[in-house]
Amino acid sequence: MPNPLLRLIDANANRAREALRVLEDYARFILNRDDLCHELKSLRHDLTTALRPFLADAIVHRDTPGDVGTTVTTTAEQSRDDLNHIVTAAGKRLGEALRSLEEYAKTLTPSPASAIEAIRYRLYDLEQRLALTLRPQNAFGSVRLYVLITESLCRRPWLEAAEQAILGGADCLQLREKNLDGGELLGRARQLVSLCKRHHVLCLINDRPDIALLSGADGVHLGQEDLPARDARKLLGNSHLIGVSTHNLDQARQAVLDGADYIGVGPVFPSATKPRDILPGPAYAAQVAREISLPAIAIGGICAQNVDQVRAAGVRAIAVTAAVLDCEDPRAAAMELKNALAPGE
């Protein structure tokens, strides 16, 4: 007769290893993170080591035809909406399998329960880190023209210029005012949010998650010196967008792990609006297009005459300031950029 305890260990060991492989493949092929792959592989190896004294006998007692659980299924098990559901389900399945192994292993001599418990706690940390990379589907993927609103760079009154940018095709506006007092910044944010809502475009606030939350904006954009994205996420939750400026591939990869919804890529070209000592250029934009799964926004010195270089790098969206705001006709300038970015659309 098959030993029921060994059958249980066999089934849960298989379930745990299979779930670990799903998570490892996500880290390997989707995130392109060798460090996470190594940690997940190490968990798989340590689990096998903990159970090694029992696995050979467990396989002998395997009884798949006689397992009543193989015919018990739910509709939800047969479908996965997206990567989020796949990874989340694998993490939960793994945790449940480890808990079952830990509890029943306590009846064995010698017991591997303490080793399995340690593996389970390591999983909880990894599960949290992977969860931050799972971003819900949102409207940002359709953004092509993103305009940063700074009053000092506007030829027209700033709110009028913002509306003209929208009418010219801007899909997202960001309020970028570094020197305003908090009260005045909040007042302007509310005005811009109201404008964007009327026109059904996204509105983000530069640097300030608190202002984004209080004004009703769609999210916040953070620089490398600002509040880290993972901390901003604790304030804003999953209902708000978080963008992160990046200047190299390590920063882009970290933004993914920190839970960003999109990344700024640049500067692509020299910019008079925001001069920098670094110039990652189109080459960095091309790296991001190849290796990072998040939506990317190219920024820095972009105009209608060089948009084709951004497109050639594989980035489909651009962020601009002076190219639209420092024009007599912001609407026409925005329209020209939008057409140059996506000709024929």
Q: Is pLDDT above 80 for 342?
A: no
Cβ 289 vs Cβ 314: under 8 Å = yes
CATH 1.20.1260 domain range(s) in the chain: 4-132
pLDDT at 58: 84
Closest CA relative to residue 249, chosen from 29, 87, 31: 31
pTM of the model as a whole: 0.87
Question: For residues 221 and 229, what is the distance between their CA atoms, to the nearest angstrom?
Answer: 9
pLDDT at 80: 73
pLDDT at 198: 98
Cβ 244 vs Cβ 255: under 8 Å = yes
CATH fold of the domain at 139-341: TIM Barrel (3.20.20)
Cβ 36 vs Cβ 130: under 8 Å = yes
User: Lowest-pLDDT range, 14-18, 36-40, 279-283, 338-342?
Assistant: 338-342
pLDDT at 137: 76
Q: What residues does 264 pair with on adjacent strands?
A: 245, 297
Residue 123 in tokens: 């999983």
Of 174 and 239, more confident: 174
Cβ 292 vs Cβ 264: under 8 Å = no
Q: Is pLDDT above 70 for 194?
A: yes
Question: For residues 163 and 170, what is the distance between their CA atoms, to the nearest angstrom?
Answer: 9
Q: Rounded to 10 degrees, what is the CA torsion of 232, 238, 244, 248?
A: 110
CATH 3.20.20.70 domain range(s) in the chain: 139-341
**4-132 domain in CATH 1.20.1260?**
yes
Question: For residues 303 and 333, what is the distance between their CA atoms, to the nearest angstrom?
Answer: 9
Q: Is pLDDT above 60 for 2?
A: no
Task: Give percent of the chain with pLDDT exceeding 90.
Answer: 81
For the segment 217-242, the average pLDDT, to the nearest whole number, is: 95
**Residues 6 or more apart in contact with residue 185 via CB below 8 angstroms:** 175, 177, 208, 211
Q: Is pLDDT above 50 for 1?
A: no
Cα separations in angstroms, 4 against 12, 37, 67, 78, 115: 12, 33, 10, 27, 22
For the segment 124-139, the average pLDDT, to the nearest whole number, is: 89
Task: Work out the angle between the directed axes of helices 34-60 and 4-25 (0-180°, nearest 10).
Answer: 160
